[in-house]
Amino acid sequence: MKYVNVVINNNSDHTDNLYTYRCEDDSVKIGSKVSVPFARGNRIRDAYVFQIADSLPKEIKGIKSIVSVDPDISLSEETVSTCIWMKKQYLCRYIDAIKCFTPSGTSSKRGKIRTPYKEAAGEAAGNRTLTEEQKNAVSEISPFIKNQKHNVFLIHGVTSSGKTEVYMQVINAVISAGKTAIMLVPEISLTPQTIYRFIGRFGAEQIAVLHSKLSLGERYDEWIRIQRGQVKIVIGARSAVFAPLSNIGVIVLDEEHETTYKSDMTPKYDTAEVAIQRAGKNNAVVLLGSATPSMVSSYKAETDKYKKITLKERFNKTPLPSIFPIDMRDELKNGNKSIFSIPLYQEMKKNLEEKRQIILFLNRRGYSAFISCRSCGYVMKCRECGISYTYHKSRNEAVCHFCGIHEQVPQKCPVCSSRYLKHFGTGTEKVEEVTREIFPEYTVDRLDLDTVVKKGSINRILNSFRKGKTNILIGTQLVAKGLDFSNVGLVGIVSADISLNIPDFRSAERTFQLITQAAGRAGRGSYPGKVLIQSYTPEHYSITAAANHDYEAFYLTERTIRKQIGYPPYSDLFQVIISSESELEAHEKAGEVAEEFIKNTGSSEEKYILGPQAAPMNKIKGHYRYQILIKCFPGKRKLYSKVLNEIKLKINTDRKAKYLISIDINPYNFL
């Protein structure tokens, strides 16, 4: 006879505790998934074992017994400890963390194994001769693998410097040592490219894939293969960091700077932090790779929390592409009102004539940014969110990109009945239309969230471009991340100002990263390539640094600004959102939360609180949102987390409360 403390699979703060049960099954261990009778009705619920004891410190009246044990699904002790850490780190419930580690699908009733990418052919390995920089990188990492010593490496390598080959060399060493590896990419669109390369090197039987675009059945079967130790390498987007691998030797985050590595849904985890936590438990190494490392990662390398490795040259010795900012104010003065400047048009024409491909980057989808009446100034907004609709010409619809509501564009202004309803701003759909009009004899395609709705769309679009069937590819940030095409001679950044003008302290960092990453798609073959940046503020330090391929200049300038205002990496930022169907209540309750926080942390902390104030997107899905931002300087995180968690529990367990609270630590989206 033994006793177990379990977490009940129940999405409620009221039951976010450990519950004790009697257990007579000797097979039960920490991490086992069991069925138990729960609450007064004794309804059978799933639960997960977190603690085991041979006796109880004191007698518990009416203690119940475990009903059954799941033979297929279980957690390891390492993942259980990671779940406990996540609860404290991200102020989430136990079950929220557990669900990250468990499959949501079920086994096939027909016994069929559902294998994603089963038709994928491995990409030819090619020449594996390492450059001196690559050799040095591998030699720095190898001793830690050999001695099973945990460390975090920041690999800062220019675009096309061969970071992927370094990852593969390290993964090969890890597998040779009898360990396993997780390879993470920031976008699902990059997964096929990575899979083809890894199959070509390691073989399909060694690899499993995990990401949200797989069917539930595919995800379940891949999860089972991984848990049973049938694979050595797991490839996927951020959720693959939770793969049920044992004996992990390395976790790689390619393009570590990308915002997609931060979850904006509960639990609001940071993939790099989870990777480092898991790697530490496994005495494994973590590789964070990027041509544009995040400010936080670079600061940690500067302060010796990470070990930095630098790759300064492209592996094929091709020079970095030439980058030319174009001042769109001058274009306007010269009478050019087109979305394309004269230099960009001329370069596009030249590259097409020379049979080179072009990528046009604009980080805004849709046809126009908003719809407005030129007579009275009315702007068409979402009835649920209060956010300006984006116009989609192909559907003749106004679409809210946050809640998904869409409606037909009226013939007349609903306020003044004027017929002067016009579309303002530019999105990828409009860029595609204009490009087709200017270059009708060439094939144009678009890659954004509107064109990849159907399964397989991403692969179709990218394969067409890879094979040279598409001459011009237009896209959002999906085309700026890690894609490797050898015949791209020109990258045109249609507007660098979109990311620069977002109300976010990271806007300059995001602009520098997007420009550099988009520019990195050019000149990856024998031709050096060219990049043109269109901007109304080409003198901004993020644009000039990107144009000069000067990460260090950008980092030093941005670091100085961040230090002056006390933003990350010099602090953690806690974002507290209070939402309610009543704007007055949301405002008042946000004020009460701020007062409660100050009361429990001390009046000296008041100066670190920004707000409460209306969130930039004040209304989403019918709920008004008020925001509190708290700067948390070193040494205060434990206190702040404790106080905010107590406030959160008090609100979420109050059945009379008509408002909601959410807490995000170091969010990447402040809208």
Q: Give dist(CA 120, CA 129) in Å, integer.
A: 25
383 has a pLDDT exceeding 90 = no
From 311, 345, 379, give the residue that closes a domain. Answer: 311
Tell me if 72 sits within 8 A of 45, measured CB to CB. no
Does residue 170 sit in helix, strand or coil? helix
| Residue 55 and residue 81 in one domain | yes
| Phi, psi angle pair for 323, to nearest 5° | -120, 130
pLDDT recorded at residue 12: 92
pLDDT recorded at residue 386: 65
Summarised one tens digit per residue, pLDDT across range 493-545 is 999 988 887 778 999 999 999 999 888 888 777 778 899 999 999 999 999 99
Q: Give dist(CA 205, CA 190) in Å, integer.
A: 20
DSSP string covering 239-277, please?
A: GGGG---SSEEEEEEETTT-GGGB--SSS--BHHHHHHH
| Residue 282 and residue 141 in one domain | yes
Counting Cα atoms < 13 Å in the Cβ hemisphere of 284 gives 30
Going by C-alpha positions, the residue among 564, 560, 566, 554 that lies closest to residue 508 is 554
pLDDT recorded at residue 385: 61
Counting Cα atoms < 13 Å in the Cβ hemisphere of 86 gives 29
- How confident is the model over 391-414, as a mean pLDDT? 79
Summarised one tens digit per residue, pLDDT across range 161-199 is 999 999 999 999 999 999 999 999 998 877 888 998 999
Q: Is residue 461 part of a domain?
A: yes
553: CATH: 3.40.50.300
Tell me if 153 sits within 8 A of 290, measured CB to CB. no
Q: Is residue 403 part of a domain?
A: no
Summarised one tens digit per residue, pLDDT across range 52-109 is 999 998 888 889 999 999 999 999 999 999 999 999 999 999 999 999 999 988 887 7
Which pairing describes strands 322-327 and 357-361: parallel, antiparallel, or unpaired? unpaired
| Phi, psi angle pair for 71, to nearest 5° | -75, -15
Q: Give dist(CA 77, CA 237) in Å, integer.
A: 24
pLDDT recorded at residue 403: 64
| Residue 163 and residue 302 in one domain | yes
Quick one: pLDDT band at residue 230, thresholds 50, 70, 90? very high
Task: Tell me the percentage of the chain whose pLDDT exceeds 70.
Answer: 97
Q: Is residue 374 part of a domain?
A: no
643 has a pLDDT exceeding 90 = yes
| Residue 347 and residue 474 in one domain | yes
pLDDT recorded at residue 110: 79
Q: Is residue 390 part of a domain?
A: no
| Residue 74 and residue 187 in one domain | no
pLDDT recorded at residue 420: 79
The residue type found at 253 is: L
665 has a pLDDT exceeding 90 = yes
387 has a pLDDT exceeding 70 = no
- Domain count for the chain, please give it: 4
What's this model's pTM, rounded to 2 decimal places? 0.90
Which value, to the nearest 10 degrees, does the dihedral of the CA atoms of residues 79, 80, 84, 90 take?
40
Neighbours of 327 (CB within 10 A): 16
Quick one: pLDDT band at residue 219, thresholds 50, 70, 90? very high
Which residues, 6+ apart, have CB-to-CB distance to 373 below 8 Å?
379, 413, 415, 416, 418, 420, 421, 422
H or E element in which residue 328 lies: helix 328-333
From 101, 119, 147, give the residue that closes a domain. Answer: 101
| Residue 182 and residue 264 in one domain | yes
From 561, 593, 615, give the residue that closes a domain. Answer: 561
Burial class of residue 353 in the structure, from the number of CB atoms within 10 Å of its CB (0-12 exposed, 13-18 middle, 19+ buried) = exposed
| Phi, psi angle pair for 281, to nearest 5° | -65, -25
pLDDT recorded at residue 309: 98
85: CATH: 3.40.1440.60
Tell me the Cα Rg of the chain: 27
Q: Is residue 386 part of a domain?
A: no
Tell me if 79 sits within 8 A of 7, measured CB to CB. no
Which residues, 6+ apart, have CB-to-CB distance to 583 below 8 Å?
618, 619, 624
pLDDT recorded at residue 427: 87
Higher-pLDDT residue of 34, 402: 34
Angle, vertex CA 296, rays to CA 295 and CA 302, nearest 5 = 85
- How confident is the model over 430-453, as a mean pLDDT? 91
Quick one: pLDDT band at residue 225, thresholds 50, 70, 90? very high
Q: Give dist(CA 249, CA 242) in Å, integer.
A: 14
Average pLDDT over the chain reads: 91
Strand runs labelled E in 581-644: 609-620, 623-632
pLDDT recorded at residue 126: 62
Q: Is residue 436 part of a domain?
A: yes
| Residue 145 and residue 236 in one domain | yes
| Residue 453 and residue 598 in one domain | no
474 has a pLDDT exceeding 90 = yes
| Residue 140 and residue 215 in one domain | yes
Q: What domain range is 245 assigned to?
A: 132-311
Task: Report in angstroms the alpha-carbon separations of 633 from 274, 489, 565.
Answer: 21, 46, 12
Q: Is residue 539 part of a domain?
A: yes
411 has a pLDDT exceeding 80 = yes
Walk across the sheet containing 2-8 and list its strands. Answer: 18-23, 2-8, 43-53, 32-38, 68-74
625: CATH: 3.30.70.600
| Residue 91 and residue 154 in one domain | no
Does residue 508 sit in helix, strand or coil? helix
pLDDT recorded at residue 526: 72
pLDDT recorded at residue 402: 63
- How confident is the model over 598-625, as a mean pLDDT? 91
Neighbours of 106 (CB within 10 A): 11
Task: Report in angstroms the alpha-carbon separations of 345 from 26, 330, 338, 340, 644.
Answer: 73, 15, 10, 6, 54
| Residue 518 and residue 537 in one domain | yes
pLDDT recorded at residue 368: 67
- How confident is the model over 340-359, as a mean pLDDT? 96
Q: Is residue 434 part of a domain?
A: yes
- How confident is the model over 232-250, as a mean pLDDT? 97
| Residue 241 and residue 286 in one domain | yes
611 has a pLDDT exceeding 80 = yes
